[in-house]
A and B are shown apart, each in its own frame.
Chain A
Amino acid sequence: MIKIENLHASIDGKEILKGLNLEVNAGEVHAIMGPNGAGKSTLASILAGREEYEITEGSILFEGKDLLELSTEDRAREGLFLAFQYPVEIPGVSNINFLRTSLNEIKEYRGENPLSAKDFMKMVREKSTIVELDSKLANRSVNVGFSGGEKKRNEIFQMAMLDPKLAILDETDSGLDIDALRIVANGVNKLKTPQNACIVITHYQRLLDYIVPDFVHVLFDGKIVKTGTKELALILEEKGYDWIKESAAV
């Protein structure tokens, strides 16, 4: 699905990613954990195509294509999806109008016919139940006046609508209460198939109780310094990152 090799990236002359390697295959769920400022969101942003970052070294292959050569919109059209850590509020643009534009542009790119208004609305109703998103929110301006939890649900609702091959969830669990966490996590699980894959960035093991990862990576100081199975998350929960920092410093 995606293969990241020796990725170095900097912003405003400051190097944030310092030789990151990661490979994710179809059907897998990968969790990325790591202390604040380690570069997790930076990695997510670079995958989504944010242009402020300078890639100084390394490569990213997504479904055999050079991801770094693709525009942000083409990455989405190729099936990459980022659930934002901080979803943006867009006054005046309705969720519905936004998603219809988005779906149609993706379909056009793939040479498929646009959805009829009726089928589109049917799909909106179906998919909003996956994350139990209040259907009224679909008609409101994108994320405007949404609570923190509603914003996160809206991200997963969009993911359900766009049906990506690779979804990157950047701290989708933060700001969610216990019930919402379960709902959102179950939503993500419902969308899981052997053909798609998921990278889950999180600070908390409790999310991984619901979305069970095949691999857990620790990102520290711009690199993946440790990889394990889901048990690694439990150890991190208990011991924190200090022991990893020490071994990484060696």
Chain B
Amino acid sequence: MYAVNTTQVNKLSQLLAPLDRSSLSLEKEKMQDLQDFLETANLPTTKDENWKYTRLTKLSNASFSGSQNANIPFTVYQDAYRIVFDNGKLVRKDAFNGCRSLTELTSHELTQLKPNKVIFDALNFVYAEDGIFLDVYGDLDKPIEILHLSNGNKVNNIRHYIRVHSLAKAEISLIFSADEESKSFSNIVSEIHLDNGAQLVINKLQVERGLDVNISREKVTQHRDSVFTMNTISLDGQFVRNDVEISVQGVNAESNLNGVYIVREQQFIDNHTIIDHQVPHCLSNELYKGVIFDKATAVFNGKVFVRKDAQKINAFQSNANILMSEDATVNAKPELEIYADDVKCSHGSTTGQLDEEAIFYLKSRGISDSGARNLLVSAFVGQVLEKIEHEDIQTFISKKLQERFGWEN
């Protein structure tokens, strides 16, 4: 007789038990369908290609209940439309044209939400508490700052819907912050649409200090002449999984994905990205850089598809990692699948250590060992950070790096 492998047991039901089904007026059929799906679904295991290096034991072993009110710890922009979710609950929403919360929407409007039948998307939909439903028309006069706070041990399912209409323009920061004691599970899904000629910048800033599990997914569709830029900056986080999926459906569109992750101790960060070029004449740039200290682990998986008739595509992807200790780990996998013949694509991933010759050179000028390493590391990630355009975001990130590592810029 063989012992049953208990690690493979479905722990999803345990996770779902304390949750209330969404009280939003969501489509009943979708709801039922996904609920049926969840009832038989298992948490992914490392046998699942999409979760190959990502163990969800943090989730299956945790127990979740309530939360207290969090304090708003910081703001990022000097001037912005501010929206704050406190442990999943919307507690502040500045009034501006086109911005509503999901609780304000009719069941008809909510049919715009399109959940996929994959586990965390389905879970998010069935248990969605709230979220922002945003229609951007014209050139938004201020950036939008959406702060997600957690400080308890609660499951937060928040779902956002963002549509940038034809020729409209916006910048939105999605910020995730957790208290040191926080043990929450945040499962955030954003459905993002760029109509013809729309421009959108998303800054995703993850500065969780606690023991949170953060799984978030941005599902992006881009139409003709649109420009989408996403800067994902993860500067801590016990367990972070980011899925960005861009479906490029209109010609002459541009997609930019920039990422920096700096993890330490036993932290875990996983960035999965997909850019799916379905039509010709588009450009995508992807640059992710990571610095992994201590016993931390990073996963990078970047897929670029160029479909059969998507000619004249320029798609560039690059991932670079620096291991700061012998116990640090990186699993990087860039994947390029090209079915068109007239395309220009490149991809590459490197993992290495800091240049010891450069460290010696800096030390020979009186700079301490740690000072030399800091200079090199901040130069390394600086090449991504300098792509962020808004000065307030730059300032916020340098402040965080300064607090954490004593880095100067």
Q: A72-B360, A92-B380 are in contact. Are A162 and B375 (CB under 8 A)?
A: no
How many pairs, one residue from A and one from B, have CB atoms within 8 Å of each other in the complex?
Answer: 79
Q: A101-B371, A101-B408, A105-B371 are in contact. Are A90 and B364 (CB under 8 A)?
A: no
Complex CA gap A93/B381 in Å reads 11
Q: Which residues 99-116 of A have a CB within 8 angstroms of B?
A: 99, 101-103, 105-106, 109
B383 is an interface residue with CB less than 8 A from chain A = yes
Interface residues on B, range: 20 to 34
Of A15-23, A80-88, A131-139, A226-234, which stretch is located at the interface? A80-88
Tell me how far the C-beta of B365 lies from the nearest C-beta in chain A, rounded to whole angstroms.
4
**B363 in contact with A72 (CB, 8 Å):** yes
A125 is an interface residue with CB less than 8 A from chain B = no
Complex CA gap A106/B376 in Å reads 19
Q: Which of A50, A90, A102 contacts B379 (CB 8 A)?
A: A90
**A88 in contact with B357 (CB, 8 Å):** yes
B395 is an interface residue with CB less than 8 A from chain A = no
Q: A82-B364, A84-B361, A98-B362 are in contact. Are A73 and B369 (CB under 8 A)?
A: yes
**B379 in contact with A105 (CB, 8 Å):** no
A172 is an interface residue with CB less than 8 A from chain B = no
User: Inside 8 A of A103's CB, which chain B residues have their CB?
Assistant: 366
Q: Is the interface of B mostly helix, strand, loop or mixed?
A: helix
**A90 in contact with B362 (CB, 8 Å):** yes
A201 is an interface residue with CB less than 8 A from chain B = no
Which residue of the partner chain B has the closest CB to A161? B365
Of A49, A73, A77, A103, the most chain B CB neighbours within 10 A belong to A73
User: Inside 8 A of A105's CB, which chain B residues have their CB?
Assistant: 366-368, 371
**A106 in contact with B357 (CB, 8 Å):** no
A91 is an interface residue with CB less than 8 A from chain B = yes
Q: Which residues 79-96 of B have a CB within 8 angstroms of A?
A: none
Q: Which residues 42-73 of A have a CB within 8 angstroms of B?
A: 48-50, 71-73
Complex CA gap A205/B129 in Å reads 81
User: Inside 8 A of A81's CB, which chain B residues have their CB?
Assistant: 364
A158 is an interface residue with CB less than 8 A from chain B = yes
B358 is an interface residue with CB less than 8 A from chain A = yes
Complex CA gap A48/B358 in Å reads 14
User: Inside 8 A of B138's CB, which chain A residues have their CB?
Assistant: none
**A72 in contact with B375 (CB, 8 Å):** no
Tell me how far the C-beta of A48 lies from the nearest C-beta in chain B, rounded to whole angstroms.
5
**B375 in contact with A98 (CB, 8 Å):** yes
Tell me how far the C-beta of A35 lies from the nearest C-beta in chain B, rounded to whole angstroms.
25
Q: Which of B358, B366, B382 contacts A88 (CB 8 A)?
A: B358
**Other 14 A-B pairs with CB < 8 A, given A88-B357, A93-B379, A101-B371:** A49-B363, A50-B360, A71-B369, A73-B366, A73-B367, A73-B369, A76-B364, A82-B364, A84-B361, A90-B375, A92-B380, A101-B367, A101-B408, A162-B366
A interface residues with partner B (beta carbon < 8 Å): 48-50, 71-73, 75-77, 81-82, 84, 87-93, 97-99, 101-103, 105-106, 109, 141-142, 158, 162
- Can you report 23 residue pairs joining A to B where beta carbons are below 8 Å apart? A50-B360, A72-B363, A72-B364, A73-B363, A76-B365, A81-B364, A82-B364, A88-B357, A88-B361, A90-B355, A90-B376, A91-B379, A92-B379, A92-B383, A97-B408, A97-B409, A98-B367, A98-B375, A101-B367, A101-B375, A101-B408, A105-B367, A106-B366
